[in-house]
Amino acid sequence: MDDLENGRNKGMSRRLFLKRAGLFGAAVSAPGLLAACGGAETAGEQASPAATGAASPTGAATAAPSPTGSPAAGGDTLRVGLMVPLSGTYASLGEDMRNGFQMYLDENGGMLGGRTVEVVEAETEANPEVGLRVAQRLIEEDRVAMVTGIVSSAVALGVRDLFHESQVPLIVSNAGANDVTRAAMSPYIFRTSFSNWQSSYSIGEWAYENVADSDIFVIAPDYAAGAEDIAAFREAYEAAGGTVLEGALPPFGTTQDYQPFLSEIQNSGARGTFAFFAGGEAINFVQQYRDFGLKDAIPLIGPGFLTDEGVLEAQGDAAAGLRTSLHYTPLLDNETNNTFRAAYEEAFGESPTVYAVQSYDAAQLIALTLDAVGGETDDVDAVVEAMENVGSIDSPRGSFEIDPETHNPIQTFYLREVQEVEGALGNVPIEDLGVFTDPGAS
Ligand code: PHB
């Protein structure tokens, strides 16, 4: 539990199913270590080609990296870097982020704020060393005007200093590492997703009142996000009066068999289990939790990545009835979301996920910013000032604002329950948990 304590103190169709199953089967090994503030996590994931140019699934152009020494961002075309994992545990998250960004571009004729956009895609493998390397390439060789993407907290922490020092705006569209918008906050870094604190703190009090008033087991992968999610849940649950049990941090990316951890949960006398897992790990954990016989005996809860629409179909009945917290579900009934969901389903043949929404909103944030500066990106201070002042963003999650103090979204979290909706499993919003603002650096 040392890492947990440190974290705390630091404070679909068959075709699509097969496609996803194939991706989740890809090998990744990453024994993560808890990242220090603003520093890189060391992780030994498999090496693979660092960057790829790829065609967009909607048919719109996604550029291959441009040659060294090509002109900077000032010309007519706005070059935007998109850092996403396209292999390993988090591959499907990266694909969804690519889709969400591309959808906003397609809806706007390939332009943001009056500039034609060239997307330069870079594969991070959710590995901080690869992430740093491709970020350097985007900045120094491709000379992008700004960068978005990043799934993993470890990658976000690893590239923070590079973006801060090179003064290239970075819009993080997933990674929740708290310090990115706290102690290591940078004028040049914004987030359209969440902080790890938000996604897990938001379910703590509810868990105390509705699951068990003591003895909740906590489990998450052994890297920065896992420790932060557990710490935030514990903070809220203990503030409500509960006490969490010992926890477990299975190795990130390499754990296929959760049986030893499931035995630990069973033998711990737990009255509930809080789990943060995403992508391929969420599929394995939720299925094995059911197969081990724990599902009906010990309620399983967590941040909504555990049952997002990218993993639900593969989880099947094992996920039915699970309750999680998140700032999005495609079943939110608001006009922006209803239009977005229909367009996304039409374009990609599947339900949008929170990752797609966060990336769609990163494109919106860039568009609103460029509108405010007349499409001119050379004066980076004017760009970040405009980004800080875009006001309310009309998102499928509901309108939200970027907190000028932290550059992190201020947003509502929903309790969702997995239920069958029109013949398929979906995350039905059953309770509004309130608006959560990350406390920022204290
Ligand atoms: C993270 O590493 O911050 C992270 C990864 C996957 C998620 C959420 C957060 O679904």
| pTM for the whole structure | 0.86
Alpha helix (H) residue ranges in 374-419 = 380-388
* pLDDT, position 442: 72
| Ligand 1 centroid – CA 268 distance (Å) | 27
8-state DSSP, 111: E
Q: Whose CA is nearest to atom 2 of ligand 1?
A: 152
Count the Cβ atoms, other than its own, within 10 Å of residue 52: 15
On the 0-12 / 13-18 / 19+ scale of CB atoms within 10 A, 424 is exposed
| Ligand 1 centroid – CA 131 distance (Å) | 15
Pocket test for ligand 1, best of 152, 308, 357 (most atoms within 8 A of CB): 152
What are the CA-CA distances from residue 89 to residues 172, 256, 344 (Å)?
Answer: 19, 11, 23
Name every residue whose Cβ is closer than 8 Å to that of residue 8 and which is 6 or more positions away in sequence.
227, 230, 231, 234, 235
Atom of ligand 1 nearest to the CA of 177: 3
What are the CA-CA distances from residue 164 to residues 72, 103, 168, 214 (Å)?
Answer: 18, 28, 7, 42
8-state DSSP, 63: B
Is 426 a pocket residue for ligand 1 (Cβ < 6 Å)?
no
Q: What is the Cα–Cα distance from 102 to 175, expressed in whole angstroms?
A: 19
Q: What is the Cα–Cα distance from 122 to 141, expressed in whole angstroms?
A: 12
pLDDT tens for residues 135-183? 999 999 999 999 999 999 999 999 999 999 999 999 999 999 999 999 9
| Ligand 1 centroid – CA 86 distance (Å) | 14
- Separation of first and last alpha carbons in the chain: 24
Is 225 a pocket residue for ligand 1 (Cβ < 6 Å)?
yes
Q: What is the Cα–Cα distance from 288 to 38, expressed in whole angstroms?
A: 35
Q: In what order do the strands lie in the sheet with 146-149?
A: 111-112, 115-123, 77-84, 146-149, 170-172, 189-191
8-state DSSP, 270: -
| Ligand 1 centroid – CA 333 distance (Å) | 25
Record the tokens describing residue 59, joined without a space.
Answer: 């048919």
Record the tokens describing residue 271, joined without a space.
Answer: 């009255």
Pocket test for ligand 1, best of 151, 173, 252 (most atoms within 8 A of CB): 151
| Ligand 1 centroid – CA 195 distance (Å) | 9
Is 386 a pocket residue for ligand 1 (Cβ < 6 Å)?
no
- In tens digits, the chain (442 residues) has pLDDT values of 333 322 222 223 222 222 322 222 222 222 222 222 222 222 222 222 222 223 333 333 344 433 333 334 445 899 999 999 999 999 999 999 999 999 999 999 999 999 999 999 999 999 999 999 999 999 999 999 999 999 999 999 999 999 999 999 999 999 999 999 999 999 999 999 999 999 999 999 999 999 999 999 999 999 999 999 999 999 999 999 999 998 999 999 999 999 999 999 999 999 999 999 999 999 999 999 999 999 999 999 999 999 999 999 999 999 999 999 999 999 999 999 999 999 999 999 999 999 999 999 999 999 999 999 999 999 999 999 999 999 999 999 999 999 999 999 999 999 999 999 999 999 999 999 999 999 999 7
Is 84 a pocket residue for ligand 1 (Cβ < 6 Å)?
no
Find out whether 396 and 328 touch, Cβ atoms under 8 Å.
Answer: yes
Is 173 a pocket residue for ligand 1 (Cβ < 6 Å)?
no
Record the tokens describing residue 176, joined without a space.
Answer: 């929740």
Is 152 a pocket residue for ligand 1 (Cβ < 6 Å)?
yes
* pLDDT, position 75: 52
- SS3 sequence of 124-190: CCCCHHHHHHHHHHHHHCCCCCEEEECCCHHHHHHHHHHHHHHCCCEEECCCCCHHHHCCCCCCCEE
* pLDDT, position 44: 27
Count the Cβ atoms, other than its own, within 10 Å of residue 72: 12
Count the Cβ atoms, other than its own, within 10 Å of residue 4: 22
The secondary structure element, H or E, covering residue 281 is helix 279-291
pLDDT tens for residues 26-85? 222 222 222 222 222 222 222 222 222 233 333 333 444 333 333 344 458 999 999 999
